[in-house]
Chains A and B, each alone.
Chain A
Amino acid sequence: MTVTPLGIPRRLLEFTLDGEPVRAPEGSTILDACRAAGKDVPTLCEGDTLRPKNACRVCVVEVEGARTLVPACSRKAEPGMEVRTDTERARHSRKVVLELLASSVDLSTTPRVAEWLKEYEAKPDRFGPDVARLNEEPKVDNDLYVRDYGKCILCYKCVDACGDQWQNTFAISVAGRGFDARIAVEHDAPLTDSACVYCGNCVEVCPTGALSFKSEFDMRAAGTWDESRQTETTTVCAYCGVGCNLTLHVQDNEIVKVTSPHDNPVTHGNLCIKGRFGYQHVQNRG
């Protein structure tokens, strides 16, 4: 049973969402209200276990009286606010942001992005064939996970998960600025020479597949990765007494990836190196 803490009762505030009056608990974001109302606002850098960074700007909506568009993921709903999620202006910015990303980053493993590119009629090719791209080679410097920064949209989620929001290891940060900004460990060293503790909590929150299990990376390279053939089984980690929930992703009777449910009150999606990567003994059939 998952125990959901109810917290203290929150006052409901009223505002207008796409012309309809809505009520949302005090402190909720515009995105929370949109989701409660069944509206599909695209998001990339927003994470259900992290504080919003509002860096990707793909969730922008129009608020009456605001000079610019506002990010739905981090803007709190206020009483009397008039929010419109689907105006030409908001759609234009989403389209261009998707085009800018798709023209500079490999989004081939980003869930839902193909659908959004179609929905917003984005044409990333229109910037021309010789435009600047990230073009980073995948960093394969350890046996557990791969950092393929050619797929990184700089959402900061891995940095936040590694830093003060969850792991408090602070192994990674943004290095450089502007288009040359990249996620890196101190002195851009290999991961094995860094403060990384291999909890894989950065992999858990990565929205693009830039960070992935080595097993997933190798299977994708070999063309054998097939999510439709995978089952997900949630169980309890057998290592220590904390009782973290593990979700084992299994393909052809082999564990290929381990995640943790984000709504689990023990883990909030986070694990340690043993729970995340120490599953080989389960498959030791010798």
Chain B
Amino acid sequence: MAFDDSVPLPRLLLRMAEFFRDESCGQCVPCRVGTVRQEEALHRIVERTGADAAGDIALLREVGRAMRDASICGLGQTAWNAVESAIDRLGAYE
């Protein structure tokens, strides 16, 4: 999928987080609860940038790292990839 810069990234990320929360089978804790916490944090910062979003972004990094390291399967391990790359490479929430 290709998007131009008129697409609001936070809403796109929220949609992806919703997908991962929906698709989690619920077997392991990092993915079952982590995808829910990720979606909640993205909801909180959907209209925020800079310092207002910094706290939740730090939280997302911590949860994302645990999901990547400790989930059983690839779904949980990659559930935070899109959010991470949007923050670090595309400057979402800046």
Query: Which A residues have a C-beta under 8 Å from some C-beta of B?
Result: 54-58, 60, 68-69, 89, 92-93, 95-97, 100-101, 103-104, 126-128, 131-132, 153-154, 174, 176-181
- Inter-chain contact B37/A89, CB cutoff 8 Å: no
- Inter-chain contact B30/A178, CB cutoff 8 Å: no
- Cα distance A17–B2 when bound, in Å? 47
A151 to chain B, nearest CB (A): 14
- Cα distance A42–B47 when bound, in Å? 39
- Inter-chain contact A92/B36, CB cutoff 8 Å: no
- Cα distance A50–B54 when bound, in Å? 44
Residue of A nearest to B44 (CB): A128
- Cα distance A104–B36 when bound, in Å? 10
Residue of B nearest to A130 (CB): B40
Number of interface residues of B (CB under 8 A): 30
5 closest A-B pairs by CB: A181-B26, A96-B66, A100-B33, A93-B70, A178-B24
- Inter-chain contact B33/A57, CB cutoff 8 Å: no
- Inter-chain contact A55/B29, CB cutoff 8 Å: yes
- Inter-chain contact A68/B77, CB cutoff 8 Å: yes
Q: A residues within 8 A CB of B44?
A: 128
Return the CB mask of B14-45 against A: 1 if under 8 Å, else 0: 00000001111111111011111100110010
The answer to whether the Cβ of B82 comes within 8 Å of any Cβ in the partner chain is no
- Inter-chain contact A177/B30, CB cutoff 8 Å: no
The answer to whether the Cβ of B12 comes within 8 Å of any Cβ in the partner chain is no
Return the CB mask of B50-80 against A: 1 if under 8 Å, else 0: 0000000001001101101111100001000
- Inter-chain contact B26/A96, CB cutoff 8 Å: no
Report the tally of A-B residue pairs with Cβ distances under 8 A.
101
- Cα distance A145–B40 when bound, in Å? 35
Q: B residues within 8 A CB of A179?
A: 21, 24, 26, 32-33, 35-36
- Inter-chain contact A68/B70, CB cutoff 8 Å: yes
A276 to chain B, nearest CB (A): 29
- Cα distance A128–B29 when bound, in Å? 19
B42 to chain A, nearest CB (A): 13
- Inter-chain contact B69/A103, CB cutoff 8 Å: no
- Inter-chain contact A100/B37, CB cutoff 8 Å: yes
Residue of A nearest to B39 (CB): A132
- Cα distance A233–B14 when bound, in Å? 56
- Inter-chain contact B65/A92, CB cutoff 8 Å: yes
Q: B residues within 8 A CB of A153?
A: 29
Assuming A128-B44, A132-B40, is B26 touching A176 (CB within 8 A)?
Answer: yes
Residue of B nearest to A96 (CB): B66
A and B contact pairs by CB, cutoff 8 A, 29 listed = A54-B72, A55-B27, A56-B28, A57-B70, A57-B72, A68-B71, A69-B69, A92-B65, A93-B66, A93-B70, A96-B30, A96-B34, A96-B65, A97-B30, A97-B70, A100-B30, A100-B63, A101-B33, A103-B37, A104-B36, A128-B40, A131-B37, A132-B40, A154-B26, A154-B32, A178-B23, A178-B26, A178-B36, A179-B26
Q: B residues within 8 A CB of A97?
A: 29-30, 66, 70
